[in-house]
Structure formats: C-alpha cells, structure tokens
Amino acid sequence: MMDKSRARGHLLACISVLFWSTTFVSTKILQDDFSSLEILLIRFVIGFVALFLMHPRPIKWEGWGKEVQVIAAGFFGIFLYYLMENIALEYSSASMVSLVVSTAPFFIAIVFKFLDWRGTRLRARFFLGFLVTFAGLVLSVMEAGEAIRLDLGVLIALAASIAWGFYSWFLDRLGRWGDDSIALTRRSFLYGILFMIPLAMLDGFNVGRELLEPVNIANLLFLGLGASAFCFAAWAGAVKRLGPLLSGSYIYNKPVR
C-alpha cells in the first residue's frame, strides 16, 4: 500500500503539470503586449513575492557547495528553461511547443545517466515507453489539424527540455539537504530573477499602460501565483517524495493543445 508521503508526491506532481499545461496559452496572449523577457521577469517577481509572504524564513546557509546548486537550479529551471520556452512560442504554436517540451522526461533520464553518481540505469523499456508515449502525443497534435514541422521554435523548445533535465538533477541534489520546499523554491527564484534583469534591461524593458489591461493582469497573476509560486513549490515537494525520474514522467500528461 502506498504511504502518505508518496501519495502526496503523486498529487503534487499531477496538480503542477495540470497548471503548467495551460501556461502556453497564457504566454501566447501576453506576447501581444509584452516581450518574452518582460513576461518572464514580471511572472517570477510576482511568484517570488508570493513565496516570501507565504514563508519569509530563508533556507539555512550551509556553504557555497550548496549555494552553487541553488544558483544552478535558478539558472537552468527558472531562467534558461522559461526564457527558451517563451522565445519558442514566438516562432511556433502553443501546441507544437507543448509537444516538444513533453520530451523533458527523456532528457531528465539522460542527464541523470551521465551525471548522477548513484548510476542511473536506463533499460530498453524506458526508451520504448518514451517512443510510444511521444508517438501518441504526435498523433494527438496531427488529429487536431496541426502540421508537424521542424522550425526554430521547435529547436529552441527542445533546448528548453534539456535545460529542464539539468534543473531536475540539481533539484534532486538540493532535496537531500532537507530544506522547506517553499523556501528553497524562493531562493532559486531569486537567482533566476537576477539572471533575467541584465537581459531585460538590454532588451529595453518598458512596461506601460498595457500592464493595467484586465486580460493581462489575469494572465500575469495566473502565471506568477499559480504556475510559478504554487507549482514550483509543489514540484519541489513532488521531486523530494518521488524522485526526479518518477515525478518527471508526469510531464507526459501535459495536454497538447
């Protein structure tokens, strides 16, 4: 019988993926008025503030060995993954980007195979399961009338999936320190935001009256509070309870729109 901790991990992973599956549409809507970097920075600043209000106590300082892992998690999972996902949406449809980033579980396993000191073993059934699942996702896109094509957006989305693999590896290592998931997520948000700010300034960050449009407020709050603050903290909790490979398999369940 499944223990309560693992059951909660499955629930957290499932809820996170359901939220994340709708972010592509929200981002597409916001791209009418904001650049990818503007959306990214506003979204995670909202998320950081929300997490701070929920749990203002910081994680314990335990040396640069741990802090470098937090910085890496912020770089790969908060900054790099979402920057590339947002840019991919400028070149491809939400359906295509959603399809391509569903390859993330494959790259999580590959990263662990080469970097995990515990020696992750990838059996033939893993690759077979990936091919069958991904084929099903491709067919669902084709059935919806979407043409499957290789373009710049697809390549950038594929790079985003690889970045998520590295984020998962660092998140798994951080989970061994036993920190509160909310506090750990907030610290990674902080570093992700610090990576975003210089690029946003160079890109000419210029948000005006469009920020007050009701549709933009609604989508930014959804991305910041739901898909960022809540989901990232929930995902960290899922990875701590289930491990990155099992929790990562939930990404296959993202609806392809």
Q: 48-71: string of b/e by CB count within 10 Å (b at 16+)?
A: bebbbeebeeebeeeeeebeebbb
79 pLDDT exceeds 90?
A: yes
The total number of structural domains in the chain stands at 1
pLDDT band at 113 (very low <50, low <70, confident <90, very high): confident
Task: Tell me, yes or no, whether 147 lies in a domain.
Answer: yes
Distance, in Å, from the CA atom of 171 to the CA atom of 77, rounded to the nearest integer, reads 9
Task: Tell me, yes or no, whether 67 lies in a domain.
Answer: no
Task: Tell me, yes or no, whether 64 lies in a domain.
Answer: no
141 pLDDT exceeds 60?
A: no
Mean pLDDT across 127-137? 63
Give pLDDT, residue 94: 79
Give pLDDT, residue 103: 82
Give the three-state DSSP class for 170: helix
Task: Tell me, yes or no, whether 182 lies in a domain.
Answer: yes
Give pLDDT, residue 97: 83
Nearest CA-CA partner of 73 in 179, 200, 160, 174? 174
Task: Tell me, yes or no, whether 143 lies in a domain.
Answer: yes
Q: Are 69 and 173 in contact (CB under 8 A)?
A: yes
Token pair 């005006």 is found at 208
Task: Tell me, yes or no, whether 59 lies in a domain.
Answer: no
Q: Are 167 and 73 in contact (CB under 8 A)?
A: yes
- Domain enclosing residue 18, as ranges: 7-54+72-253
Give pLDDT, residue 115: 80
Q: Could you tell me the CA-to-CA distances from 212 to 47, 201, 221 in Å, in that order? A: 18, 21, 12
User: Which tokens sit at 225?
Assistant: 């509070």
Give pLDDT, residue 124: 65
**How many CB atoms sit inside 10 A of residue 147's CB?**
9
Give pLDDT, residue 23: 86
Residue scoring higher pLDDT (56 or 140):
56
Task: Tell me, yes or no, whether 96 lies in a domain.
Answer: yes
Give pLDDT, residue 253: 65
**Residue 239's Cα: distance from chain center in Å?**
13
Q: Which of 11-15, 73-77, 126-130 has the lowest mean pLDDT?
A: 126-130
Residue scoring higher pLDDT (252 or 87):
87
Task: Tell me, yes or no, whether 65 lies in a domain.
Answer: no
Q: How far apart are the first and last CA of the chain?
A: 35
pLDDT band at 215 (very low <50, low <70, confident <90, very high): very high
